[in-house]
Amino acid sequence: MKTPEHCTGLPDIRHAIDTLDRQIIDALGLRMHYVKAASSFKPDQASIAAPDRVASMLPQRRRWAQEAGLDGEFIEGLFNQVIHWYIAEQTAFWLQKKSKAV
């Protein structure tokens, strides 16, 4: 993948964007594996949401975005959606594991 400065046309740009999007999706998939693994350490369904953890994560993601020159408000909102989706997925996974164990 060429750096933005070395791209010679839209095909180079589109290839790089597609490559990056694939890496983002792969990273989200890996994150999901960790989220599901975390369910093994959750004693009950109520502990999955971890509101204190979420409350500390969102401002941190905002700061990271700002440090990277991105819109912190947008990234915080994006991660809010991402985190709540993972919480829902982890809850479903936890319940599924629990029902199989009974």
Residue 90 marked as a ligand binder: yes
One-letter amino acid of 16: A
Residue 14 marked as a ligand binder: yes
What pLDDT, on the 0 to 100 scale, is given for residue 101? 76
Cα separation, 92 vs 6, whole angstroms: 45
Query: What angle is formed at CA 82 by the lines to CA 18 and CA 45, rounded to 5 degrees?
Result: 140
Which CATH fold would you assign to the domain 4-101? Chorismate Mutase Domain, subunit A (1.20.59)
What pLDDT, on the 0 to 100 scale, is given for residue 99? 86
Structure tokens at 64: 């990271």
- Residue corresponding to tokens 């500390």: 56
Q: Which of 45, 55, 51 is nearest to 91 (CA)?
A: 45
Q: What tens digit of pLDDT does each residue of 28-71 get?
A: 999 999 999 999 999 999 999 999 999 999 999 999 999 999 99
Residue 53 marked as a ligand binder: no
Cα separation, 74 vs 86, whole angstroms: 18
Least confident of 5-9, 69-73, 96-100: 96-100
